[in-house]
């Protein structure tokens, strides 16, 4: 016959599983970490391009800040404007930061939500940066000094880039080709001078 479990033991097992299940039900759900990401683009020389800086999975975001480095030999930063994310919830205080095209750095771009709750949450665009493409190449867009709600932790960062395409540089003729072209031009000039001289002689002989 199968062994029977004593009633007190059954009660202890049921009580233990009840505590475990209640603990699992009461455990806080793990929220996804916010992501601050910089956009990417491919443009031609002389084009203007606007690069957005995104926020995903934000919760109660009332302040953000970032710096952004770029290659000044490839692109030139023109303007920085506030994105619609915070302002869609209410009044904000936006600071466009400082552009240093010599060093290739945009510093202290900040924005603060200064209105009543509910605080901004979700996904959106924090800021938009307009660049001018100067020369062919790739400029990495690397963010640093990123803060969300005055904290430098608890979120992820994804950088972007601008790829600038342009016409290939003019081909330089090979030395041998250059000599042939130069010799041909010299022969053509000599032929024309000789023809002009013969024509002048014929005119004088006829007169």
Residue 166's pLDDT is 83
Task: State whether residue 5 is helix, strand or coil.
Answer: coil
Average the pLDDT over 9-35 and give the result: 55
Question: pLDDT-derived band of residue 6, with 50, 70 and 90 as boundaries?
Answer: low
H-only helix segments in the chain: 7-26, 84-87, 175-206
User: Each residue of 25-77: pLDDT tens digit?
Assistant: 444 445 689 999 999 999 999 999 999 999 999 999 999 999 999 999 999 99
Structure tokens at 108: 């202290």
User: Each residue of 103-122: pLDDT tens digit?
Assistant: 999 999 999 999 999 999 99
Phi (first) and psi of residue 27, to 5 degrees: -65, 135
């Amino acid at each position: 016959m199968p062994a029977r479990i004593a009633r007190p033991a059954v009660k202890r097992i049921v009580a233990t599983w009840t505590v475990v299940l209640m603990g699992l039900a009461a455990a806080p759900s793990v929220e996804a970490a916010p992501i601050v990401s910089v956009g990417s683009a491919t443009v031609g020389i002389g084009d203007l391009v606007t690069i957005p800086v995104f926020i995903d999975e934000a919760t109660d975001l009332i302040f953000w800040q970032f710096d952004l480095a770029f290659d000044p030999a490839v692109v030139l930063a023109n303007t920085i404007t506030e994105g619609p994310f915070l302002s869609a919830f209410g009044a904000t205080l936006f600071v466009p930061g400082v552009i240093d095209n010599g060093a290739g750095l945009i510093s202290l771009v900040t924005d603060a939500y200064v209105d009543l709750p509910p605080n901004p949450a979700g996904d959106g665009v924090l800021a938009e940066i307009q660049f001018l493409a100067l020369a062919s190449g790739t400029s990495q867009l690397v963010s640093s000094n990123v803060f969300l709600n005055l904290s430098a932790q608890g979120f992820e960062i994804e950088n972007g880039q601008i790829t600038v395409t342009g016409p290939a540089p003019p081909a330089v003729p090979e030395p041998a080709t250059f000599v042939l072209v130069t010799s041909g031009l010299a022969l053509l000039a000599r032929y024309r001078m000789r023809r002009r001289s013969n024509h002048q002689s014929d005119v004088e002989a006829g007169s």
